[in-house]
């Protein structure tokens, strides 16, 4: 699978894991978004269901076992190089996930992983769609209480 300068868009999954007023974010160890904070997630593998991918990617990046409970959104992530050629193209499918087990610790694709309060999020310069889906996660949980 060619992630950089792909011939077709790749399907990515993301997990919004919330505990009280905190959400889990990972600092990416590899491009794209290397050294930036983002939600746990990654690329769907052939034969894998999107919810299974969310569980696998979360465990691989954070050490947590989660259960995807609700689809929060589908987003386009198209990043272009200086010459305006598409360098990365993902269709991102993001789920609200409940923490089932595990201890938070960075794993394979994460340089760092930690809980952030809602108040800390604006200072992280997260992508607009990332802020949007995290906001939807907090709103959904608040509505269910």
The Cα–Cα gap between 143 and 1 comes to 39
Cβ(120)–Cβ(129) under 8 Å?
Answer: no
Which active-site residues does the annotation give? 112
Angle CA(20)–CA(39)–CA(111) in degrees, nearest 5? 110
CB atoms within 10 A of CB 39: 26
Contact 10, 43 (CB under 8 A): yes
């Amino acid at each position: 699978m060619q992630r950089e300068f792909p011939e077709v868009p790749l399907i990515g999954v993301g997990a919004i894991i919330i505990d009280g007023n905190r959400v889990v974010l990972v600092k990416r160890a590899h491009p794209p978004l290397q050294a930036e904070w983002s939600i746990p997630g990654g690329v769907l593998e052939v034969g894998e269901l999107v919810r299974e991918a969310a569980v696998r990617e979360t465990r691989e990046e954070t050490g947590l076992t989660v259960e995807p409970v609700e689809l929060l959104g589908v987003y386009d992530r198209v990043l272009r190089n200086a010459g305006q050629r598409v360098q990365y193209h993902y269709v991102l499918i993001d789920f609200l996930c409940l923490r089932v087990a595990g201890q938070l610790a960075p794993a394979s694709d994460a340089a760092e992983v930690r809980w952030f309060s809602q108040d800390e999020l604006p200072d992280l310069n997260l992508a607009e769609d990332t802020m949007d889906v995290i906001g939807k996660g907090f709103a959904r949980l608040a509505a269910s209480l």
